[in-house]
Amino acid sequence: MIQLVTPARILGTSLLRRRNPLLTALPIRSLASLPAREEEPQQCSHSLLILGKPGGGKGTISEKILRDFPQFRHVSTGDELRQHVRNGTELGMEAKKYMDEGCLVPDNVMIKMVMGDAVEAVKVCQSLLLDGFPRTMEQAVALDKNLDVDLVIHLCIPNETIIKRISDRWIHPASGRIYSYSYKPPKVKGQDDETGEPLVQREDDKPESVLKRLQKFEDATAPLVKYYEDKGVLQKFKGTMSDVIYPEVKGWLDDQLAEDDASATV
């Protein structure tokens, strides 16, 4: 325990010096002037990944997490990629070459973008909420060489629920406005609320297309799920509605972060 240097203690030291002149050569030093003992650094940030099928509510769950856990910074690799391309950065120009050729942007380029945000976040003890990357085990292994993903949420939503949700979606092509007849219908069926122009359904949103996309996603992410399960950092959440699933997600995150707070005080 650190003891404060009080006036009485300073006076006592002065009297002692009068009795022993040899002590007058010694400077009065408070404990505050002594170098503090270095302590072991505590982990103050996390890297959280949300896994789930397209249309499975990842965006909704992410928004709720960012609202309730402000220590997390949202890192959307899709948004990051588009911003780098727009700004003409070195990473953006490199990525654009592959995009113009219709090729996937290499993992090393994507990781550089993620690490750019990660470095800034770590400086201020801010945690990361990763959105859109990694999507395959190969990407996860490559990312682990640079960043430790220590919290993984796996949203397990039935295919039937997602097919119904996505195939119910219609858009206004000119503006990108999205409508859903089950929870956000247009005022007039088949027409955009603001322009009255016709709504269309994307080819990818048709039931047969959605099912094929879900099957491909499951094949690609199954090894990734196992990878994080084996690391002991993945938690599964099952359900059909985000509002029902999220309280469980929040409870789990509260517990994980509380464990860190407890260990930091030991």
Task: Give the residue numbers marked as catalytic.
Answer: 58, 135, 169, 202, 213
CA distances in angstroms from 221 to 1, 9, 114, 214, 252, listed in the order given: 52, 67, 20, 10, 22
Task: At 177, list the tokens.
Answer: 């406005």
* Ordered DSSP codes for 158-184: -HHHHHHHHHTEEEETTTTEEEETTTB
From the list 161, 77, 156, the residue with the least C-alpha distance to 116 is: 77
From the list 195, 166, 196, 160, the residue with the least C-alpha distance to 183 is: 166
Give Cα 71 distance to the centre of its chain.
10
Pairing relationship of beta strands 169-172 and 177-180 according to DSSP bridges: antiparallel
Q: 173: cis peptide before it, omega within 30°?
A: no
Residues 73, 128 contacting (CB under 8 angstroms): yes
